A and B are shown apart, each in its own frame.
Chain A
Amino acid sequence: AFFWLVSLLLASLIWFVSVHLSDREDSKLQYGLLIFGAAVSVLLQEAFRFAYFKLLKKADEGLATLSEDGRSPISLRQMAYVSGLSFGIISGVFSVINILADSIGPGVVGIHGDSPYYFITSAFLTMALVLLHTFWGVIFFNACEKRRYGCLGLVVASHLLTSGLTFLNPWYEASLVPIFIITLGTGVWAFVTAGGSRHNILKCLSCK
C-alpha cells in the first residue's frame, strides 16, 4: 500500500507540475493532461510493483537463509497475493472513499446532466479494479520470478487498457462490460498461474 501511495504521489506530482506549466484555460489540453497523468500513474504503479517485488525477494532470501530448513515461512505466492491485494485495496479505497462519503450527504446524483448511475458504476468499477490489482499482483510476481517478460508486458498492457477503458465513461456499456471481461480473464489467468486447475476446484468443492 505504501508503495502504491508513493507511486501515486509521484504521478500526481508530475501531473501537478504539468498542469501548472500549461495553460489553465484550455480545457481540451487539461483533459489531455489528465489522460497523460493517468497513463503516467499506471506506468509508475507497475514500476513500483516491480520495486516491491525486488524488495520482497530480498527479504525472502533473508528469511530463507535464517530459517531452519532453508525455506522462508512465507511463500512467494502468498507474498504476491498479499501485495496485489494491498495495491488493490489502497487503490480502490482512494478511488471510492470520497464518493462514499459524499453519498451519505444530501444531494441528487447527476443533477447537472451527468449520469444518474454514477455511484453504482463507481462501486462496480472499484470492485473490478481491486480484483484486477490482486490478479495482476499474482501474475506479475510469477512472471518476474520465472522471468517471462512477455507476461509482464501483458500485465502492464492490460492495466493500461483498463485505465483507458475508464476514459470512455460515462458510456458505461463500452467501459464496464469490457472491464469485467478483462477481470474475469485475468482472474482465470491468475488462478492458473497460481497453480490451480479444474481438478483442484473439483477437489476443493467435493472434499469439503
Chain B
Amino acid sequence: MTELSAHLPQFQHGQLTENFPDNHLSNANDTNERRRHDNSERRRNDNPESETNGQPQNNIQQVVEQDEEDEELTLKYGAKHVIMLFVPVTLCMVVVVATIKSVSFYTRKDGQLIYTPFTEETETVGQRALNSILNAAIMISVIIVMTILLVVLYKYRCYKVIHGWLIISSLLLLFFFSFIYLGEVFKTYNVAMDYITVALIIWNFGVVGMICIHWKGPLRLQQAYLIMISALMALVFIKYLPEWTAWLILAVISVYDLVAVLCPKGPLRMLVEMAQERNETLFPALIYSSTMIWLVNMAEEDPEAQRKASKNSTYDKQAPANQTQNEDAEADDGGFSQEWQQQRDNRIGPIESTPELRAAVQALPSNSQTSEDPEERGVKLGLGDFIFYSVLVGKASATANGDWNTTLACFVAILIGLCLTLLLLAIFKKALPALPISITFGLVFYFATDNLVQPFMDQLAFHQFYI
C-alpha cells in the first residue's frame, strides 16, 4: 500500500501520464499485494515455526498439534485461494482478449504515449531494437522514480496527497476511459446511441464505481469494478505501446518487481515495512481482495470464540480489545478498515513483523494471531498484476500469427505461473512478487508458440493430421 501511496502523486501531473501512474500504482500495489497472505492457518503455522514470532508465549504442545493441522489446512485453503485468484485473472484476460478481437480501435496504431517517445517504425532492425530498448528504459526509470517518490511521500506522511491522487486516477479510469471504450464498442457494432443515454450510463457506472472501490459496497461489485478497470488499463497499454517495447517492458518489469520486493533496500519492501511499523491502513482501489469479511480481533485469546465471532462478524463487529486499531482504521473510511485489516492480516503471514504489534496489543498468551475463519480469509492480488497479465495475453492475441493457439498457450502459462507463485508463497511465507514467474512463463510460451508451434500446427491442420 505504501507503494500505492507513492504512486499516487503521479496522478497529480494530470496528463496522459495518468495511464501510467495508475499502472505504477497497481504495480506497486501489486508488489505489495504479493504479500498476499491469507491463511490464518499459515499464520498460526508461522507462529510456531518462525523465529521472528512475536508471540513467544505459544505453548509448544499446542504448537505441534496445530502445526500439522495448520499445514493441512494451509494446503487445502491454499488450493482454494488459487482458485479464488484464477477466476478474476481469467475474467480480466477474457475481457481484454474479447475486446482486442472485436474492437479494432485497440489494435490500431494511433500514436504513442509520451513515455515511449521513440518510434518503432524504423528502417533497420538494429534501429528498432535500439529504440525499443530506450523506450523501455525510459518507462522503467519513470516507474522507479515514482516508486521512490511514493516511499518519500509515505515517509513524510503526505496522506492527503496520496488520497487525492488515488481518487483522481480512479475518476479518470472510471469515466474517461470507459467512455472511450463504450464509444469504440458502439462503433464496432454499429449501434446508434445518443449522448444523453451515454451520459447517463457513464455517470452511473462511474459514480457507483467510485463508491464501491473507495468506500463500501457489495464485494462482488467491487471485484467486478476492479477487474473492469484493470482491463481498461491493460487495453490502453496494449494500444499505446509498440510491440518490441511492450515485450521488453514486461520482461524488465518482472525483474524490477523481483528486485524491489525481495532486496532489503528495495523501495517496495521499505514501504511495506514502514506501513507495518505504523500499523496503517491500506489504500483500496489498487488491490483486489477476494473476501471482505474481516475478522477482526487479533487480540482475543480464545481461538474458538474468535472463530465464532469472526464467522458472523462484519466490519461492524470488532472486538473491544481491538478498539484502538479499529477506531484508527474507521476514522479513515469504513471500507478502508476492512481492507486494512485484511491486508494487515495478509501481511502478517509473509512478513512476520506484525506479530510484535499484536503481541503488544494482546499481551496475552495466544496461539492464534487472528481469529479469522479460514474460509473467510481471502487472498489479495495487486491490480498491477492483473494489468500486466492481461497486457501479455492481449498483446499475444493482437499480434501473433498463431492467433488463438498463442493466446491460449500464454493464458495457461500465466495461470501456471500464478499457481507456482502461490505455492512458493505458501512455502516461504514471505512477501513475494507475483509478476516474475508468470511473466517469464508467458513470454517463453508466447515466443515459442508463435515461432515454433504455430508452423507445426498449421501444417498438421492443413493435412488434417491429429497428434
The residues of A with any CB-CB pair to B shorter than 8 Å are 1-2, 5, 8-9, 11-13, 15-16, 19, 31, 34-35, 37-38, 41-42, 45, 62-63, 66-68, 73, 90-91, 93-95, 97-99, 101, 118, 121-122, 125-126, 129, 162-163, 166-167, 169-170
Question: Which single residue of chain B is at the shortest CB-CB distance from A118?
Answer: B464
The residue among B68, B453, B457 with the most chain A CB atoms within 10 A of its own CB is B453
B466 touches A (CB below 8 Å):
yes
Rounded to whole angstroms, the CA-CA distance of A101 and B403 in the bound complex is 9
Question: Which single residue of chain B is at the shortest CB-CB distance from A40?
Answer: B467
- Interface pairs (16), CB distance under 8 Å: A2-B413, A5-B413, A12-B457, A13-B448, A13-B452, A16-B455, A34-B459, A41-B467, A66-B72, A73-B76, A90-B408, A93-B408, A98-B404, A98-B461, A101-B403, A169-B465
Question: Which single residue of chain B is at the shortest CB-CB distance from A42?
Answer: B467
Inter-subunit contact B460/A38 (CB<8 Å): yes
Question: Which single residue of chain B is at the shortest CB-CB distance from A132?
Answer: B466
Known: A67-B72, A125-B466. A5 touches B409 (CB 8 A): yes
Closest Cβ–Cβ distance, residue B306 to chain A (whole Å) = 22
Inter-subunit contact A9/B453 (CB<8 Å): yes
Give the chain B neighbours of A166 by CB distance below 8 A.
464-466
Inter-subunit contact B466/A163 (CB<8 Å): yes
B386 touches A (CB below 8 Å):
no
Partner among B71, B72, B416, B445 whose Cβ is within 8 Å of the Cβ of A9: B445
Inter-subunit contact B455/A98 (CB<8 Å): no
B203 touches A (CB below 8 Å):
no
Rounded to whole angstroms, the CA-CA distance of A83 and B374 in the bound complex is 28
Q: Which of B423-467 contact A (CB under 8 A)?
A: 445, 448-449, 451-453, 455-461, 463-467
Give the chain B neighbours of A67 by CB distance below 8 A.
72
Inter-subunit contact B461/A99 (CB<8 Å): yes
Give the chain B neighbours of A126 by CB distance below 8 A.
466
Question: Which single residue of chain B is at the shortest CB-CB distance from A66?
Answer: B72
Partner among A16, A38, A93, A170 whose Cβ is within 8 Å of the Cβ of B467: A38
Question: Which single residue of chain A is at the shortest CB-CB distance from B101?
Answer: A101
B412 touches A (CB below 8 Å):
yes
Question: Which single residue of chain A is at the shortest CB-CB distance from B419?
Answer: A2
Count of chain B residues with a beta carbon within 8 Å of a chain A beta carbon:
33
B405 touches A (CB below 8 Å):
yes
B91 touches A (CB below 8 Å):
no
Rounded to whole angstroms, the CA-CA distance of A34 and B465 in the bound complex is 9
B133 touches A (CB below 8 Å):
no
Closest Cβ–Cβ distance, residue B180 to chain A (whole Å) = 27
Inter-subunit contact A66/B413 (CB<8 Å): no
B255 touches A (CB below 8 Å):
no
Rounded to whole angstroms, the CA-CA distance of A43 and B461 in the bound complex is 19
Known: A73-B76, A125-B466, A163-B467. A2 touches B412 (CB 8 A): yes
Inter-subunit contact B455/A122 (CB<8 Å): no
Closest Cβ–Cβ distance, residue B15 to chain A (whole Å) = 39
B262 touches A (CB below 8 Å):
no
Inter-subunit contact B405/A98 (CB<8 Å): yes
Closest Cβ–Cβ distance, residue B130 to chain A (whole Å) = 28
Instruction: Contacts A118-B464, A169-B464 known; list 4 others, CB within 8 Å.
Output: A38-B467, A68-B72, A95-B461, A125-B464
Partner among A16, A38, A97, A101 whose Cβ is within 8 Å of the Cβ of B465: A38
B95 touches A (CB below 8 Å):
no
Q: Which of B365-393 contact A (CB under 8 A)?
A: none
The residue among A101, A122, A166 with the most chain B CB atoms within 10 A of its own CB is A166
B75 touches A (CB below 8 Å):
yes
Question: Which single residue of chain A is at the shortest CB-CB distance from B453?
Answer: A12
Q: Which of B148-198 contact A (CB under 8 A)?
A: none
Rounded to whole angstroms, the CA-CA distance of A34 and B456 in the bound complex is 8
Q: Which of B320-346 contact A (CB under 8 A)?
A: none
